[in-house]
Amino acid sequence: MGIKYVPEPFRIKMVETIKMLSPEEREQKIAEANYNLFNLKSEDVYIDLLTDSGTNAMSQEQWSGVMRGDEAYAGGSSYLKLIKTAQEIFDYKHIQPVHQGRAAEKVLFGAVLKEGQYSISNMHFDTTRAHVELVGGRAIDCVVAEALDPAKRAPFKGNMDIEKLESLIKELGADKIGVVIMTITNNSAGGQPVSVQNIRETAEICKKYGIHFCIDAARYAENAYFVKQREKGYENKSIQEIIKEMFSYGDMFTMSAKKDTIVNMGGLLAIKDDAELFQQVKNRTISFEGFTTYGGLSGRDLEALAIGLTEGLDENYLRYRIGQVEYLAGRLDEAGIAYQSPAGGHGIFVDAKDMLPHIPYYEFPGQALAIELYKEAGIRTCDIGSYMLGNDPDTGEQLRAGFEFTRLAIPRRVYTQAHIDIMADALIAIKERASEVKGYKITWEPPILRHFQASLAPIEE
């Protein structure tokens, strides 16, 4: 018997019909989509695990907040409520709403990164890397070695490699590092958490060398829940207390609110106390996002976001949320399917390199397995591997990722235990015919963030 399913701490009062196409229709749809799952219509998808970003189910409190949203251009009550809530949760003085996480990156990096400077992170998310490069910077990942070993169970596989960070700073020169970014949880490493100790030690190094320390806070609540479960000394602290401590070490944070804040659109950019930097943030927000008191969002979005910030901290909800992912992991353990283990916060990152050892990194095993999951059961997932990583910006050569994952990202409060079982059954069925699965080649790609738009074709011998 695997892990017991944690029952939903809610009941369902509004439903959305989904259906599965026939196997022949699925073959046709994925070919028409040029084997890029971003090109599929959602109505042709049965279970959509492409991302947990913005795909969350809002609560009745959030939906009633939508009706109360103040749509004033300047100084609206929804804006003021959001600022007050965020200040209370994170203890940062300056809070700027933006339309999503990458908008926060665009606004911030132009202010803290100069051309030719480096950004060092435990791992840059794909849009984070893109925005570093767009302002002429270079992104270096500095994650602990165990993150790259999917079979190795460690409590905080998302951590920064502290020794490597310090030696990189010494080697490159502190004045060449514009920012150090801590991504919590570490999305690209499989939603793996970062310990409070690791955040504190990273902050100490940043302080020692006078480098900005930024938290990429998309999954702040899931990270806090893992800390409570796994880090000594935090067992009896509340999620809110852990969040306060984690953020006390940062100078600023960017946040995609489409994740742990359980809304469909939104983002935040916060500066702890540097008023001068915040002035630049406000100036850039007005250029790119809109006036500072709406930041690219409607008043109703600001209202739902303010409510979601608090709802996302509920421990009963987080127990169910993380428990649902752990249940899926338990079923894969029983079937001997390798994944980034232990299970991360927002999904399962199946080790496609392990399931499809005959497909080399430049034929994209993570993408091949994602395509297979759609063909098998109408499940939409994505590659987190060499296909997503793309080409070296200097040489144009295909980069080799540290791992080849197929990510099953679980939307919050959306799918039930029966759906989770379908995901496990589909992976088990594919495992049985794994040697027949083919690799893919890219037939067209754009210069940056190519995985969203590229066309692919199966490699036929």
Give the dihedral of Cα atoms 441, 411, 187, 104; nearest 10 deg: 100
- Show contacts with ligand PLP in window 45-74 (CB under 6 A): 53
**Closest distance between ligand PLP and the C-beta of residue 107, in Å?**
12
Residue whose CB is less far from ligand PLP, 100 or 355: 100
β-strands 94-98, 267-271: how paired? antiparallel
**Closest distance between ligand PLP and the C-beta of residue 127, in Å?**
4
Burial classification of residue 421, based on how many CB atoms lie within 10 Å of its CB (0-12 exposed, 13-18 middle, 19 or more buried): middle
Tell me which residues are annotated as active site. 73, 125-126, 216, 218, 259, 451
Phi, psi for 164 (deg, rounded to 5)? -65, -40
Among 62, 96, 127, 285, binds ligand PLP (CB under 6 A): 127
Burial classification of residue 397, based on how many CB atoms lie within 10 Å of its CB (0-12 exposed, 13-18 middle, 19 or more buried): exposed
CB 312 within 8 A of CB 262: yes
Residue whose CB is less far from ligand PLP, 224 or 437: 224
Q: Is 381 in the site for ligand PLP (CB under 6 A)?
A: no
> What residue ranges in 109-203 does DSSP mark as E strands?
118-121, 138-141, 177-183
Among 258, 272, 321, 407, binds ligand PLP (CB under 6 A): 258
Among 187, 223, 298, 381, binds ligand PLP (CB under 6 A): 187
CB 219 within 8 A of CB 143: no
Q: Is 100 in the site for ligand PLP (CB under 6 A)?
A: yes
Q: Which stretch binds ligand PLP (CB under 6 A): 41-49, 207-215, 252-260, 434-442?
A: 252-260
Among 267, 295, 378, 439, binds ligand PLP (CB under 6 A): 267
Helix or strand (DSSP H, E) at 278: helix 275-288
Among 56, 78, 183, 381, binds ligand PLP (CB under 6 A): 183
Tokens standing for residue 272: 């702890």
Q: Is 327 in the site for ligand PLP (CB under 6 A)?
A: no
Tokens standing for residue 47: 């279970």
- Annotate each residue in 203-222 with x if it binds ligand PLP (CB under 6 A) or - if it does not, as one string: -------------x-x----
**Closest distance between ligand PLP and the C-beta of residue 401, in Å?**
16
Q: Which stretch binds ligand PLP (CB under 6 A): 2-10, 124-132, 292-300, 357-365?
A: 124-132
Give the C-alpha separation, 455 to 446, whole Å. Answer: 10
**Closest distance between ligand PLP and the C-beta of residue 267, in Å?**
6
Please give the angle made by the CA atoms of 6, 11 and 15, to the nearest 5 degrees. Answer: 115
**Closest distance between ligand PLP and the C-beta of residue 302, in Å?**
15
Q: Is 102 in the site for ligand PLP (CB under 6 A)?
A: yes
Q: Is 223 in the site for ligand PLP (CB under 6 A)?
A: no
For every residue of 395-447, DSSP letters joined together read T-PBP--S--EEEEE--TTT--HHHHHHHHHHHHHHHHTGGG---EEEEE--S
Residues contributing to the site for ligand PLP (CB under 6 A): 53, 100-102, 125, 127-128, 183, 187, 216, 218, 256, 258-259, 267
